[in-house]
Structure 1
Amino acid sequence: MATVTVTMTMIMVILGCSLLLIKGTLGAMNENEVIHIGGKVMCQDCSQGWNDWVQGSNPIKGSTVSVTCLDERKRVVCYKSDKTDEDGEFSMVMEKMVHGKKLNPKNCIVRLVSSPDPSCNVATNFAQGKTGVKLRQPSVVYRDITKYRLGPFYYTTPACACSDDDISQ
């Protein structure tokens, strides 16, 4: 009887330690240990009249947006990407700790990667989508939650594209 009690006690201790280990491993995704990045990707057609051009953008489903984070020595320490949903929305969650070091959001750049729409696949630099926008000021800081809301970023039609040389002249 005493042997059964000792065995049960040992099983309970091992089970408890295992649960603590699992909790510690999963704890990295607590809200206070992640950064939320979100925004929208739209298509803007320059062939429309001024009002339609300004107000008539459409969301692009399946567009890819990426975030690249660098360390103090300008080395890439984190890269993530996400595809937009039917509303053109993207949402990424990144851990604040990468390889045992705290990630500095100001060293992260979010940019457009690709558009699946062949009629609207030329990246523009509205809201710095083409060159990339640095995470500066969070849109939401509530308790331990940090969120960045960016964009909207825009693609345009190939007919509206101009080269960088055309802009500089």
Structure 2
Amino acid sequence: MLLLVTAMTVINVVECWEEVPAKSGGGVILVGGKVLCQDCTEGWNEWVNGNKPIEGCTVSVTCMDERKRIIYYGSDKTDKAGEFEVTINKYIHGKMINPEACFTRLVSSPDPVCNIPTNFAGGKTGVKLGCPTTVYRDIIKYIHDPLYYTTPMCDEPDTSDNNDNNSYTKENNY
């Protein structure tokens, strides 16, 4: 009987053990995009087409596990073209990252005028990774639509009675 219990325990442990491929750490997930400044004080054409990239913005990617705990947090600063790219190993501590449980959001802007995050493309509350843009061998790449900051003059004040300012958690039940 003791042998049977021991054998069953070993089988259960082996079934639960997720082996990480040895070659190149199991691959990577790349998350990229662009951060732009949108100025509402301009005319319609300038507002829509006159967005300028912001250098030095911090953009973060957060991934959750099946129990809604953070298992990955990373960030990157934008370059002169306003572009960022975060590289995530597909396996962290022996667990595979589920890209559907990851989201990207704006963290900070060094621009003294254009530093209010907007939700125009989901950058303020967080935008989930959608369909991959590129899948090649051990690389899955996601490119977001541009994320936007605006000027304080364009920021709409929150007039709701709700005191909970954590809109990502409220909207997405995290």
Same fold (TM > 0.5): yes
Q: Compute the RMSD of aligned alpha carbons.
A: 1.6
Question: Residue 69 of structure 1 corresponds to which residue in structure 2?
Answer: 63
Question: Residue 13 of structure 1 corresponds to which residue in structure 2?
Answer: none
1:44-59 maps to which residues of 2 (within 5 A)? 44-59=38-53
- 1:3-36 deviation per Cα after TM superposition (whole angstroms, max 9, x unaligned): xxxxxxxxxxxxxxxxxxxxx6x832xxx61001
Question: Residue 54 of structure 2 corresponds to which residue in structure 1?
Answer: 60
Rounded to whole Å, the distance in 2 between the matches of 1:115 and 1:165 is 24
Runs (5+) with no aligned partner, structure 1: 1-23
Question: Residue 158 of structure 2 corresponds to which residue in structure 1?
Answer: 164
1:43 is aligned to 2:40 = no
1:95 is aligned to 2:89 = yes
Runs (5+) with no aligned partner, structure 2: 1-21, 163-174
TM-score normalised according to structure 1 size: 0.79
* Aligned with residue 142 of structure 1, among 136, 143, 152: 136
Rounded to whole Å, the distance in 2 between the matches of 1:152 and 1:136 is 14
- 1:67-119 deviation per Cα after TM superposition (whole angstroms, max 9, x unaligned): 00000000000000000000000011100001101010000010000000010
Give the CA deviation at 1:123: 0.4
Give the CA deviation at 1:140: 1.1
Rounded to whole Å, the distance in 2 between the matches of 1:151 and 1:163 is 25
TM-score normalised according to structure 2 size: 0.77
Query: Match for 2:24: what amino acid?
Result: G
Following superposition, which runs of at least 4 residues in structure 1 exceed 6 angstroms of deviation? none
Rounded to whole Å, the distance in 1 between the matches of 2:73 and 2:139 is 21
Identity %: 59
* Aligned with residue 107 of structure 2, among 104, 107, 113: 113
Structure number having the greater helix percentage: 1
